[in-house]
Amino acid sequence: MSIANLARRVVRALTPYQSARRIGGQGHVWLNANEAPLAYPFTIEGNRLNRYPECQPAEVVNGYAAYAGVNPSQVLVSRGADEAIELLIRTFCEAGEDQILICPPTYGMYAISAETCGVGIVEQPLTASRQPDWPAIADRLSDVKLVFLCSPNNPTGDLVGRKGLIALLEKARERAIVVVDEAYIEFCPEGSVVDLLDQYPNLVVTRTLSKAFALAGIRCGFTLGNPEVITMLAKVIAPYPIPEPIAQIAAQALSPMGLALMQERVQELNKQKALIKAELLRLGCVKEVFEDKGNFVLVRFTDGAAVFAAMKAAGIILRDFSSKPGLDNSIRITIGYQGEMDAVLTVLRDLSNSTP
Ligand code: PMP
């Protein structure tokens, strides 16, 4: 018997998250994980590394609260938004009893975190117009503790409709918490629902520095919510989740200069996104380009497997979603800098020309 058999049943059976760096083959253009393409300049000052850091570094909490337009008591900092997702489940769901609701196709970690915590999953697929199925979700509210919505949704790129969300928050009131994952919201800030937090104590918003802030490497994310929710989460989070050098880098990213750099980056990536989208729509091998509110576009090709293989052969790493229900032949392309986008288009043009 293998020692691995000692692991919990759910862990043995689990298909793990396909992380950005765990991928076969060699690539030199990495467009599979919705990261920012260019390096971020930063420095670390002083040396307080003999001391434990603050559990919730004040400069980061205050900086993020000011940026997001909320009170610091409404902010929790965590190791990426991924830790925030798991923390919400561990804080609000009893293992073996409670369930969460997700709307596939969507970000994979909601289901993985629920599974590893022994929490059930109710799936309510997106509608044909790729919106949450509001009436169907409302019908399931008494069965679930947390509803996870993703806006813009990874991988389809749509924003969650505000009217439907408000109606759901009204119905859920003290029965369930609605989590809106805004990992990509900087690419379409007008779609944020953070302004609803004061009115709806059952709304939670998760955010990250991994995307528009170009800091996926420091693992820093945020939960924004009612102070009572934040207090509960703070009871469960591991001690000292944010190492001192990380707190310094995060605080710089949230300074006026850091925010200005972020906004410049967003403008440039949104420009690249519009350019590649226009080019994609001209290619014979492209069937459909989905909504594009994040730093990625999901594209349905006539032959997704051929595109994925041709890209891989050219050292361009993309994310294949073709095995997901409703997403046959669909591949997600992270928006990179111009040279990277040109490399993608060159492969696609060659493919379009060689296919009769
Ligand atoms: N939410 C969504 C929708 C994501 O796409 C990702 C990263 N792929 C995350 C959360 C995780 O973000 P972080 O890097 O902050 O853990």
Separation of 83 CA from ligand 1 center, angstroms? 10
pLDDT of residue 22: 57
Instruction: Please provide the DSSP assignment of 52-80 as one string.
Output: PPPSS-HHHHHHHHHHHTS-GGGEEEESH
Whether residue 53 is preceded by a cis peptide bond, meaning omega within 30 degrees of 0, is no
Which residue shows structure tokens 């610091």?
Answer: 72
* pLDDT one-digit tens code per residue, 184-229: 999 999 999 999 999 999 999 999 999 999 999 999 999 999 999 9
279 alpha carbon – ligand 1 mean position (Å): 28
- 102: tokens are 């997700």
> Which ligand 1 atom is the nearest neighbour of the CA of 216?
14
Which has the closest alpha carbon to 110: 84, 148, 155, 165? 148
- Residue whose token pair is 């730093």: 295
CA distance 312 to 305: 11
Q: Which pLDDT value is given to residue 28? A: 83
Contacts of 59 (CB under 8 A, 6+ apart): 247, 251
What span, in angstroms and rounded, lies between the C-alpha atoms of 249 and 153? 27
Give the number of the atom of ligand 1 that is nearest the alpha carbon of residue 184: 3
Residues of the chain with confidence (pLDDT) below 70: 1, 3, 6-8, 11, 18-25, 40-43, 47, 355-356
ipTM above 0.90, yes or no: yes
With a 6 Å cutoff on the Cβ, whether 181 touches ligand 1 is: yes
- In angstroms, the CA 150 to CA 165 distance is 11
- Contact between 290 and 298 (Cβ < 8 Å): yes
Q: What is the per-residue pLDDT for 24? A: 56
Residue from 103, 208, 215 to probe ligand 1 pocket by mutation (most atoms less than 8 Å from CB): 208
Q: Which contiguous run of DSSP H or E holds residue 147?
A: strand 146-150
Answer whether 216 contacts ligand 1 (Cβ < 6 A). yes
Helix, strand or coil, per DSSP, at residue 121? strand
pLDDT recorded at residue 26? 75
Which are the contacts of 183, defined by CB distance < 8 A and separation ≥ 6?
A: 81, 107, 150, 154, 206, 207, 208, 210, 211, 294
The pLDDT assigned to 38 comes to 76
> What does the pLDDT look like over 90-112, one tens digit per residue?
999 999 999 999 999 999 999 99
Tell me which residue of 213, 215, 218, 193 sits closest to 203, measured CA to CA.
Answer: 193
**CA within 13 Å, CB half, 290:** 31
Amino acid identity, residue 230?
A: I
Backbone angles phi, psi at 288, to 5 degrees: -155, 135
Pocket test for ligand 1, best of 30, 103, 109, 242 (most atoms within 8 A of CB): 109
Q: What is the distance, to the nearest Å, from the Cα of residue 151 to the centroid of all Cα atoms in its chain?
A: 9
Report the residue among 154, 184, 209, 219 best suited for mutation to probe ligand 1: largest number of ligand atoms under 8 A from its CB. Answer: 154
Which is nearest to 241 in space by CA: 35, 64, 52, 62? 52
pTM of the model: 0.94
Can you tell me which residue has the tokens 């997106």?
A: 126
CA dihedral 220, 221, 227, 230 (to 10 degrees): -80
| Other C-beta atoms lying within 10 Å of the C-beta of residue 31 | 24
* pLDDT of the residue at 170: 96
